[in-house]
Structure 1
Amino acid sequence: MAGGWARDGAVQDQIDSTVEDGVQEARQRLEQQRGPSLEYCEECEEPIAQARREAVPGVRLCIDCQTAADKRPRNGAGFNRRGSKDSQLR
């Protein structure tokens, strides 16, 4: 049951939309990784280990640079895209 200005099911719609965005972002990252693995890291230009290139098809970063990239914040659903007045009043 929604209250205020929001309609019934608005919260679930927002959750579903956030999950869809996350799935779509993950699929885009997978598509970028297709193709041959690089021998040298795109960022630091250090060699990428053969075992890593075989384990992760399309790898573009060494382990250290990938770890740093994974820690960087991503633009995502950090705000209420629906803009319901209920959430704006809190």
Structure 2
Amino acid sequence: MANGWAPDGAVQDQIDDTVKDAVLRARGMMPSGDGSDECDDCGEDIPAARRAALPGTRRCVACQAKRDATLRSVGINRRGSKDSQLR
């Protein structure tokens, strides 16, 4: 059931688009290219298991965790609530 002037299935379309955007963003953040034996940030050795699991990785687990913590998830509020428009 649609809400207001929205067509039937609009809510599911919003959900599908949000998931699609999240997948594309995650794929864009995946390491690519040549990997490294040493971490670019701290210089420690990157374990062989990590290099095998993530080809192209250039950071150790600890440095990657720090980097991921600083990156904020930027989402799109597809509902367009008044609160989101005021920010």
Give the TM-score normalised by the residue count of structure 2: 0.69
Bigger RCO (CA 8 Å, 6+ sep): 1
Equivalent residue number for residue 27 of structure 2: 27
Runs of 4+ residues over 4 Å off in structure 1: none
Worse overlay, 52-61 or 41-50:
41-50
Cα RMSD after superposing both structures = 2.4
User: Matched residue pairs, number?
Assistant: 82
Q: Distance in 2 between matches of 1:75 and 1:52?
A: 27
Q: Distance in 2 between matches of 1:88 and 1:14?
A: 17
- In structure 1, the gaps of 5 or more residues are none
| Within-5 A mapping of 1:41-56 | 41-56=39-54
1:13 counterpart SS class: helix
Q: Does 1:76 align with 2:75?
A: yes
In structure 2, the CA distance between the partners of 1:10 and 1:55, relative to structure 1 (3 Å rule), is: closer
1:39 counterpart SS class: coil
Q: Distance in 2 between matches of 1:51 and 1:3?
A: 50
Q: Distance in 2 between matches of 1:63 and 1:50?
A: 12
Give identity over the alignment, percent.
49
